[in-house]
Every structure is written in structure tokens, then in C-alpha cells.
């Protein structure tokens, strides 16, 4: 007998024979379950579409076919493709080992052959409903935790970027899932701007947690007098000391002086940002250094570039260039888009580029895609 709870488990019975349907409803109602019944596959699907059930007890054979179980297997296949669908116990009066195995492979939790043993059937129902409810509770907890993590990460991402005379800045992160392993930031450091972008090797919540630690490390280390190479060294040591050795992060950091229009940068294994000159020429920003998290004693180096009015600096993660299947968007296409839009403020340029990438991949990003653009006035 099922233990009494505040909410009675709901069982949906799919059975075309009226007397069998009634007998099953009496059995489950007497054991403390709430029951509903469906006489046809269409009725079964309709009830599943609007109702929530803890279990489905389903005949494999209906009027159209009384031997192969094809109708029931078709229903089971559709149910199995629905995330969070309730457990299914299948029944048939024409059962066989082969049919039972096939049903279980498709997704049935158990198999009962008519005529059934009442006590055995109720034991199976109680077992699978308890497992299903435990699974649903765990799934709810995980979804809640993921939503909380996503909310925290959204608060960590820059919402309002600094307003600096002589430059226009725009940035955007498109997570592939609820949370991202990408990160970008723009820091006001005295008269300079700190510009950074990063990509954790990995996806999901673990990558997002590492990225949150990286962001904290960057903000702790960044200062007007700290060079990009020194910041990379400090952040790498903090990353490794946090137990992230072997959890690699590609990282790019630059200090921009708006008065002198100089860009000093260090590239820790990140795909090279590109400067698109006003005349259409391009410069890749590389320093040949290793990703963060490889080892704590890595050395990083500075490089410097003089910018001019009409130039734009594009920082991006590979989720942007690798978007699309079977044909990726690609680095060359990305650079060409920025070349064709040069002279346009970053706040206007970036949305156009992102729209082109989204159209190319039908808005289906398989990896986090992030871009930060700085245009020089």
C-alpha cells in the first residue's frame, strides 16, 4: 500500500479494453493513487500534453494492431523524447521476451504481461514513482542552482561600459547554455582603460565557476601602473593557487591610453584579437605566451601598438568564429565584416556583426560567443 502523502501520485492508464481499464483504475484508486484513463493513443497524447503524471501504465496493443505492439512502441518513442516525462510500465497480452526488450530499450521502466499480479504491479508502481519523484526533485534543485549561477554571472558581466572621450566601446557575451565560460570586461584605471577577454576550456557550470574566480583575480590585480604582462603573471599565479592547474584559460589583457592612443597588451594563449585600420589593413595581437593555468611560473610579455582615428580593436572568443554547421563562420569572414563597417562606432558595428553570425548559425550557438569592440574616434 502506498504511504499517504499530501499529494496523491497521479497515474495515467492507457488501455483500449473498457473492462481492463476499469479494473486497473479500481486497483490503483484503492491503493491511494489518483487515476485517469485513455482509450486511444490520441487520447493518451492529449492527456499527457495538458496533465502532469507520476507514471504511465500503457498497453502496447490497440485496435489497429493486436500482436506486434507497434502502436505502443510508437507512443513510447515519443514519450522518451520528452524531457522529464514520467516513467512508463508497458503491458500486453501478446507479450514476448523480444517485445519486452524492445520496449525497455526505447525507454520503458518495466514490462507487465496480462493477466497481471496486483501486488507485483503495485510494488513496481511504488518503486518507479518514488524514483521518478526523487529524480524530479534533484532536477529541480539543479535547475534552481543553475538559474542562481546564471543570475550571479549576469551581475558580474559589465552592463554599463565606461564612457571615455575619443573611443566608443561595445561588448556582448552570448552563452551557449544558462551560464558561460567566456568573460570580458572594461576597467577604468585612472586615465587608462583595462580591456580583457577570456575563454575557459570547457563549458557549463564548472567553466562558469572558474571564470568567476578569474574575474575576481583580474579586478584584484588590475591597476593603472600594472602592465599587461605583470597582470597576466599575477592572475596566472592566483589561478594556479586556486587549484585550476590543468584547467586552462585563454586570456587577453590590454591597457589603452586614450590620450596617447597607445595599446599595450599581453596575450595568454587567446585567439589573436585584430586591429582593423582605417585604411582596411589588419594587425593581429599576439605575444606567443601560454594559457593561464598551465603552470604557476609562466612568463608573459608586453607588446605595444599605436592606434589612430578610424581604427577599431576587436576581441573575440572562438564561439563566434566557430558558429555554424557544417560551415563555420570563420575568422576571415568576421574580420571582413569589421572591415566593411570600419568608421562606424563600435556600438553600431557590433550589433550588425552579431546579427550576421546569428543568422549564419540559425541562432544556434554551440559554444559561448563573446566579442568586445573598441573604435577610435
Q: The domain spanning residue 50 has which CATH number?
A: 3.40.50.2300
Helix axes 228-239, 204-221, angle to 10 degrees: 130
Per-residue pLDDT reduced to its tens digit, 85-103: 899 998 877 656 677 778 8
Answer whether residue 70 shows pLDDT above 80.
no
Measured between alpha carbons, how far is 327 from 259 in angstroms, rounded to an integer?
42
CATH classification at residue 316? 3.60.40.10
**In 10 A of CB 164, how many CB atoms?**
17
Handedness of CA 162, 167, 168, 169 (dihedral sign): negative
- For residue 1, the model assigns a pLDDT of 42
Q: Given strand 88-92, what is the order of strands in its sheet?
A: 34-38, 10-14, 55-59, 88-92, 110-113
Within a domain: 5: no
Considering 65-79, 150-164, 203-217, 350-364, the range whose residues carry the highest mean pLDDT is: 350-364
Measured between alpha carbons, how far is 213 from 244 in angstroms, rounded to an integer?
10
Same domain, 168 and 279: yes
Same domain, 130 and 194: no
- For residue 320, the model assigns a pLDDT of 95
- For residue 298, the model assigns a pLDDT of 94
Which pTM value belongs to this model?
Answer: 0.67
What sections of the chain are H helices per DSSP? 18-30, 41-50, 70-80, 97-106, 118-156, 204-221, 228-239, 318-321, 331-340, 346-360
- For residue 172, the model assigns a pLDDT of 93
Per-residue pLDDT reduced to its tens digit, 193-208: 999 999 988 777 777 7
Least confident piece of the model among 230-244, 255-269, 359-373: 230-244
- For residue 3, the model assigns a pLDDT of 44
Name the CA radius of gyration of the chain, rounded. 29
Same domain, 291 and 195: yes
Mean pLDDT of the chain: 88
How many structural domains compose the chain?
2
Same domain, 17 and 54: yes
Answer whether residue 340 shows pLDDT above 70.
yes
Grid cell, residue 22, equals 476499469
**Chosen domain end from 147, 172, 188:** 147
Measured between alpha carbons, how far is 304 from 311 in angstroms, rounded to an integer?
15
Same domain, 254 and 183: yes
Within a domain: 232: yes
The domain in which residue 209 lies consists of 157-376
Considering 31-35, 50-54, 106-110, the range whose residues carry the highest mean pLDDT is: 31-35
Same domain, 143 and 193: no
**Chosen domain end from 94, 120, 147:** 147
Confidence band of 245 (pLDDT split at 50, 70, 90): low
**Chosen domain end from 114, 147, 180:** 147
Within a domain: 277: yes
Within a domain: 4: no
Grid cell, residue 35, equals 487515476
Same domain, 183 and 320: yes
Answer whether residue 61 shows pLDDT above 90.
no
Same domain, 162 and 119: no
Least confident piece of the model among 2-16, 28-42, 170-184, 293-307: 2-16
- For residue 2, the model assigns a pLDDT of 45
Q: Count the helix, strand and coil residues of the chain and give each as a percent rounded to the nearest 5.
A: 40, 25, 35
pLDDT greater at residue 169 or residue 247:
169
Q: What percent of the chain has pLDDT over 70?
A: 91
First-to-last C-alpha distance (Å) of the chain: 77
Q: Residues 317-343: what's their mean pLDDT?
A: 94
pLDDT greater at residue 138 or residue 5:
138
Q: Residues 61-88: what's their mean pLDDT?
A: 74
Contacts by residues 344-353 (CB-CB < 8 Å, ≥ 24 positions apart)? 344/375, 345/168, 345/375, 345/377, 346/167, 346/168, 346/169, 346/170, 346/312, 346/373, 346/374, 346/375, 347/168, 347/169, 347/170, 349/170, 349/312, 349/373, 349/375, 350/170, 350/171, 350/172, 351/170
Within a domain: 301: yes
Within a domain: 200: yes
Within a domain: 3: no
Within a domain: 250: yes
Query: What pairs with residue 313 in β-bridges?
Result: 275, 374
Least confident piece of the model among 13-22, 75-84, 116-125, 162-171: 75-84
Amino acid at each position: 500500500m502506498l504511504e499517504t502523502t499530501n499529494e496523491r501520485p497521479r497515474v495515467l492508464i492507457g488501455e483500449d479494453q473498457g473492462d481492463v481499464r476499469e479494473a486497473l483504475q479500481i486497483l490503483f484508486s484503492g491503493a491511494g493513487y489518483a487515476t485517469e484513463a485513455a482509450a486511444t493513443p490520441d487520447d493518451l497524447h492529449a492527456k499527457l500534453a495538458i496533465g502532469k503524471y507520476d507514471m504511465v501504465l500503457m498497453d502496447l496493443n490497440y485496435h489497429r494492431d493486436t500482436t506486434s505492439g507497434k502502436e505502443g512502441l510508437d507512443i513510447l518513442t515519443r514519450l522518451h523524447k520528452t524531457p522529464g516525462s514520467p516513467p512508463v510500465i508497458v503491458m500486453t497480452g501478446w507479450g514476448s521476451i523480444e517485445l519486452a526488450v524492445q520496449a525497455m530499450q526505447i525507454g520503458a521502466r518495466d514490462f507487465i504481461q496480462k493477466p497481471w499480479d496486483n501486488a507485483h504491479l503495485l510494488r513496481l508502481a511504488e518503486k518507479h514513482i518514488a524514483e521518478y519523484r526523487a529524480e524530479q526533485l534533484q532536477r529541480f534543485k539543479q535547475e534552481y542552482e543553475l538559474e542562481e549561477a546564471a543570475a550571479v554571472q549576469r551581475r558580474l558581466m559589465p552592463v554599463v561600459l565606461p564612457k571615455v572621450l575619443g573611443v566608443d566601446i561595445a561588448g556582448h557575451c552570448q552563452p551557449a547554455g544558462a551560464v558561460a565560460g567566456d568573460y570580458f570586461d572594461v576597467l577604468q584605471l585612472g586615465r587608462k582603460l583595462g580591456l580583457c577577454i577570456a575563454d575557459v576550456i570547457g563549458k557549463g557550470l564548472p567553466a562558469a565557476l572558474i571564470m568567476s574566480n578569474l574575474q575576481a583575480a583580474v579586478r584584484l590585480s588590475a591597476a593603472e601602473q600594472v602592465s599587461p604582462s605583470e597582470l597576466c603573471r599575477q592572475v596566472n599565479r592566483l589561478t594556479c593557487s586556486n587549484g585550476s592547474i590543468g584547467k586552462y584559460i585563454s586570456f587577453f589583457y590590454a591597457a589603452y591610453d586614450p590620450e596617447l592612443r597607445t595599446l599595450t597588451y599581453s596575450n595568454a594563449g587567446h585567439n589573436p584579437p585584430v586591429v582593423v585600420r582605417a585604411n582596411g589593413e589588419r594587425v593581429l595581437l599576439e605575444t606567443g605566451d601560454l594559457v593561464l593555468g598551465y603552470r604557476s611560473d609562466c612568463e608573459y610579455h608586453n607588446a605595444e601598438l599605436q592606434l589612430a582615428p578610424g581604427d577599431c580593436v576587436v576581441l573575440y572568443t572562438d564561439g563566434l568564429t566557430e558558429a555554424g554547421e557544417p560551415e563555420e563562420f570563420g575568422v576571415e569572414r568576421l574580420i571582413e565584416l569589421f572591415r566593411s563597417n570600419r568608421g562606424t562606432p563600435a556600438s553600431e558595428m557590433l550589433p550588425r556583426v552579431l546579427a550576421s553570425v546569428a543568422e549564419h548559425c540559425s541562432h544556434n550557438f554551440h559554444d559561448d560567443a563573446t566579442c568586445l569592440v573598441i573604435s577610435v574616434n
